Structure 1
Amino acid sequence: MSSNVIKTTEELMQPILQEKELELVDVEYVKEGQNWFLRVYIDSEDGIDIADCGTVSEQLSEKLDEADPVEEAYFLEVSSPGVERPLKSKGDFEKNVNNNVFVKLYEPIDGQKEYEGILTEFTDNMATIEYKVKTRKKLVEIPFNKIAKARLAVTL
């Protein structure tokens, strides 16, 4: 059921996003406590502001009311993915070469399931990350299909 709500929301979002030249980053449909939340994360090349979120929220709310894919009461939230934006697609990885990333793997590579470092390259479905072990820099190559979760990482 949750996947149906997400799929329908993604489909309803497409014309809104195209009209406003925005990108759909992620959709979540989760229960927290007694409440259900439908969270939509949007972005653009120039970033987004609260007005963009408000406009998209109003338009999406109307479309969701018409399509009625959700049986229970829920809260709709439209926002920016923030500075630690998730990396979901191969395109996300290609656009973020030379940025700091955090990656969780399905299974360990070189004894580790998590890496944080600079994404130095993404080619042929392979992410290359330069990370530090104490003062030494190392490289790890990670096949795209081994990545469970990935996001941009803020460095202090």
Structure 2
Amino acid sequence: MAKNKLADIVEGLVAPVVEEMAMELVDVEYVKEGSQWYLRIFIDKTGGIFVDDCQAVSQKVSRLMDEKDPIPHAYILEVSSPGLDRPLKKAADYERFCGYEVVVTTYAPFNGKKSFSGRLDGLSEQGVIINVDGTEYVIPVDQVASARLAVDI
């Protein structure tokens, strides 16, 4: 669950702005796709995110980024909700979504598998606890490549 350093810097700058707007900063991504750099801000709030919320956050973050100038080159700013398959990034996410269906992938095989779909039973000092068809797995956090809410189609 490593993050690049610039995304960490931006997250530190943006989190207070998003929180003062009564929203939650879910994640910050700073990635290069093709020849373009993208700064993606994912936000959420009780009742869900609307286009007006994204626009308001985008305007404030854009002004903040212009003022602080932590990114030395051109990029595209995108603000959106995390989607139905919301990523679980923080310890509070694992607590909040305990009992929900999730998909956890690992960097390397763990107990012979790299993907686990089941019920999230929490987070302990030993790792992410997931129940897959009655079998409990405790996956060390440093082995988790991603954890997301499962989308039931």
Q: TM-score range by the shorter chain?
A: 0.7 to 0.9
- 2:16 is paired with a residue of what secondary structure? helix
Q: 1:95 is matched with which residue?
A: 96
TM-score normalised by L of structure 1: 0.86
- Quickly say closer, same or farther: Cα 1:71–1:46, change in 2 above 3 A: same
Q: Distance in 1 between matches of 2:19 and 2:122?
A: 29
**What is the 5 A alignment of 1:107-122?**
107-122=108-123
Counterpart Cα distance in 1 of 2:69 and 2:7: 12
Q: Which residue of structure 1 lines up, in the alignment, with residue 135 of structure 2? A: 138
Question: Over residues 81-114 of structure 1, what are the superposed CA-to-partner deviations in whole Å (9 max), with x where a residue is unaligned?
Answer: 0000111122111111111111111332321111
Number of residue pairs matched by the alignment: 151
Write the distance in 1 (CA, Å) between the matches of 2:90 and 2:141.
9
Give, in whole Å, the separation in 1 of the partners of 2:35 and 2:138. 42
Deviations 1:15-50 (A, max 9, x none): 312211211111111111121111110111222111
Which has the larger displacement, 57-66 or 17-26? 17-26
Cα contact 1:90–1:125 (8 A) shared by 2:
no
In the alignment, what sits opposite 1:20?
21
- Counterpart of 1:151 in structure 2: which amino acid? R
Q: Report SS of the residue matched to 1:69.
A: coil
Q: 1:147 aligns with which of 118, 140, 144?
A: 144
Comparing 8-17 and 26-35, the one that deviates more: 8-17
TM-score in terms of structure 2 length? 0.88
Identity of aligned residues (%): 42
Correspondence 1:30-49 to 2 at 5 A: 30-49=31-50
Q: What is the distance in 2 between the residues matched to 1:91 and 1:125?
A: 16
Deviation of 1:147 after TM superposition, in Å, equals 1.4
**1:69 to partner: Cα distance:** 1.5
Q: For the Cα contact (< 8 Å) 1:6–1:28, is it kept in 2? A: yes
**Amino acid of the residue matched to residue 117 of structure 2?**
E
Q: Which residue of 2 aligns with 1:104?
A: 105
**Alpha-carbon distance in structure 2 between the residues aligned to 1:111 and 1:85:** 26
Say what the alpha-carbon RMSD is for the aligned residues.
1.9
C-alpha separation in 2, matches of 1:108 and 1:52: 40
Structure 1, 6-15 or 64-73: larger mean CA deviation: 6-15
CA–CA separation in structure 2 for the residues paired with 1:14 and 1:105:
27
In structure 2, the CA distance between the partners of 1:145 and 1:19, relative to structure 1 (3 Å rule), is: same
Choose 97-106 or 144-153, whichever is displaced more: 144-153
Unaligned 5+ runs, structure 1: none
Give the greater-gyration-radius structure (CA).
1
